[in-house]
A and B are shown apart, each in its own frame.
Chain A
Amino acid sequence: MHRSKAFALRNIKELLRDPLSYIFCLCFPLVMLAVMTLVNSGIPEEAGMTVFRIDKLCGGICIFGQTFIMLFTALSVSKDRAGSFLVRMYASPMTSADFIAGYILPMLAVSAAQSVITCTASYIISLFTGVELSPLGLVISVIVLIPSSLFFIALGLIFGTLFNDKAAPGLCSIIISLGSFLGCVFYDADSAGGVMLDICKSLPFYYCTKTARSAAAFDLSAEGSLIPILIVSLSAAAATFISIITFRARMKAELS
């Protein structure tokens, strides 16, 4: 326990001292929130397009922000692997469980902070735009965003373990684009329907966004919240399991 705590503390310090983490993990989602709100102000109500309205946008931007946490997790792991730092740590009493917990826990904390900031900013925007946003719904959003956060962190851990520090960010960028598109962050697949909706529904990204939006709207129905939360939680559990197996296998291979 003391080893994973020590490693987590080291990782969070490294993250907090990297200016890029503030730009990508905090500033960029807030800028997107502001820009999309401006875009929404130019869309006439008759168009019936609500994806950029703050009550819908909030959950989408929270998920968009989490995809950057995935990128930072991948960078953190792949950078450690690129140098001799992990060599030193492999020769210490650290176990694979210590490494995994040490990478995941600080990222979960940063992701939670990111959700709180995004939801708070969304609430402030809702006061100006006159769109109703329930504070209780936003509090629930922050809680239900934890499984999707774990899902993206686990994906980052997998990419950082399998690929080097040059390839991992590029691959994460693909997931960021795919995740925000197929997760319907900036696009309403439910209104579009058809094959696109089927594709979106076959991947966990859609349910990540749906969970966040439903919670923000205080929709606790089975279809709106419970089933999507279950799907996201199962996806997070599967991704975490795969990340543990992948990290252990890589560690074993590097020590053989």
Chain B
Amino acid sequence: MKAIETKKLTKKFGEKTAVNGIDLSVEEGELFALLGVNGAGKTTTIRMLSCLSAPTSGEAFIKGHSVASGRTEIKRIIGISPQDTAVAEALTVRENLRFIASVYGFDREKTEKRINDMREMFGFDEVLDSRAKTLSGGWKRKLSIAMALIGEPEILFLDEPTLGLDVLARRELWRAIRTLKGTITIVLTTHYMEEAEELSDRIAVMLGGRIAAVGTLAELEEKTGKSGLENAFIAIAEGGRD
């Protein structure tokens, strides 16, 4: 079974078409990047896949469950880290993690185990009992991803996970994301070329709400005859304008 499958998935806001009939297929355990400039439709796609926005037309299936009729089942198997760091500011890192674990119905023992897992994965030791509002942008982003992970999702959606972070915080977050590769299906949106290049198994280039190209970096380079993702992306984008 595919982790994610979409068929002619479309989202319109009035007259504006944000996502235009996209067909996607993501394998289990894959790290799949949606790459595109601002307004390309990446976040809208993620919102539809995570049941936060209903498609105007077309279908999407998460582990075989339709986003139209299987919301309850889907919400149990996904985790999302939105573009803005969605954390409870007055709670500590530990309390934020405990809160999400409680929402997923974990008992005390399992909650503590998962908090420990997240502590080890993201190196939370020094900030575990600090309130979220006192954390730096990098720590908040790590906490946001840890909150998406603590419920043991099968599919993780990361919407622009390193947006606004400095280069060191970004590299650190990449390391954390890399440790997840292969253990869980990840869909990541980004407009940073090096991020998609560094982390992804496959990349979908989104332009104006459509998927302009999909493949591994090597496949995109071969398709465009250009070296490096940035050059390949520009070639695809300029080709799309012709």
Contacts and interface: CB of A to CB of B under 8 A. Distances in A.
A130 interface: no
B88 to A, nearest CB: 6
Size range of the chain B interface in the assembly: 20 to 34
Contact of B52 (A5, A6, A91): A91
A85 B76 CA distance: 18
Contacts of B100: 92
Contacts of A88: 80-82, 86, 144, 147-148
A206 interface: no
Q: Which among A13, A84, A85, A94 has the greatest number of chain B C-beta atoms within 10 A?
A: A84
Nearest to A4: B103
A256 interface: yes
Given A88-B148, A92-B103, A93-B75, A83 B84 contact: yes
Interface string B74-94: 011011111111111111000
A9 interface: yes
B85 A84 contact: yes
Given A5-B102, A9-B99, A93-B104, A83 B86 contact: yes
B95 interface: yes
Interface residues of A, number: 24
Contact of B51 (A10, A18, A89, A255): A255
Contacts of B81: 88
A256 B51 CA distance: 9
B54 interface: yes
Given A10-B91, A255-B52, A256-B53, A93 B103 contact: yes
Contacts of A84: 82-86
Contact of B103 (A83, A94, A256): A94
Interface in B108-157: 131, 144, 147-148, 151
B72 interface: yes
Contacts of A94: 103
A84 B161 CA distance: 14
Given A2-B105, A10-B99, A13-B91, A91 B84 contact: no
B190 interface: no
B50 interface: yes
A92 B85 contact: no
Nearest to A3: B103
A190 interface: no
Interface in B161-182: none
Contacts of B87: 85
Q: Which among A3, A17, A92, A94 has the greatest number of chain B C-beta atoms within 10 A?
A: A92
Interface in A66-109: 83-85, 87-94
Nearest to A95: B72
Contact of B76 (A9, A83, A93, A255): A93
Given A2-B105, A14-B91, A85-B87, 12 more contacts: A3-B105, A9-B99, A9-B102, A14-B90, A17-B131, A18-B90, A84-B85, A88-B82, A88-B144, A90-B51, A93-B72, A255-B54
Interface of A: 2-3, 5-7, 9-10, 13-14, 17-18, 83-85, 87-94, 255-256
25 contacts: A2-B103, A7-B103, A9-B99, A13-B95, A14-B89, A17-B90, A18-B90, A83-B84, A84-B86, A85-B87, A85-B88, A87-B82, A87-B86, A88-B80, A88-B82, A90-B51, A91-B51, A91-B52, A91-B79, A92-B75, A92-B100, A92-B103, A93-B72, A255-B52, A255-B53
Interface of B: 50-54, 72, 75-76, 78-91, 95, 99-100, 102-105, 131, 144, 147-148, 151
